[in-house]
Amino acid sequence: MAEIHIVGIQYIEINNQDGLDFKYKPEVPKLKLVGTLLNFDNDNEDEEEGVLFLTQKQLNQVMANKDIDLKQQDDRWYLNKPLSKEQTKKIGLVNIETEFLGSAGEIKCYEAVKVD
């Protein structure tokens, strides 16, 4: 189990990858958040580009009361404007317990299990 914090969002899309073994509610469709993640369980606690798979409810918990505006383009959602420092701080304070799914090259992939 790893504790992840989101510090940047590139885009969000509906997961269409097959063959992923989700532990948390495997029957519930997952969203794929691609962005910058901070892993507190690493020795170096560095920000890294990564992928976080989470349910719509979990995404709502992360983004609740943060005035984040998304726009849809094709099948992806992007930030309508870059996150302010205050929004980044608020999102970064949300603890997300995750399971490590593996790496795709330099990109690490996680599944959200619990959002605090």
C-alpha to C-alpha distance for 96 and 56, rounded to whole angstroms: 14
pLDDT tens figures, 63-100: 888 888 899 999 999 999 999 999 888 998 899 999 99
Query: DSSP H helical segments within the chain, as ranges?
Result: 56-63, 85-92
Q: Which of 11-25, 41-55, 77-91 has the least mean pLDDT?
A: 41-55
Number of domains in the chain: 1
CB contact at 8 A, 27 and 101? no
Q: How confident is the model at residue 105 (pLDDT cuts 50, 70, 90)?
A: confident
Q: Domain range spanning residue 81? A: 2-115
pTM of the complete model: 0.90
Percent of the chain with pLDDT over 70: 96
Q: How confident is the model at residue 61 (pLDDT cuts 50, 70, 90)?
A: very high
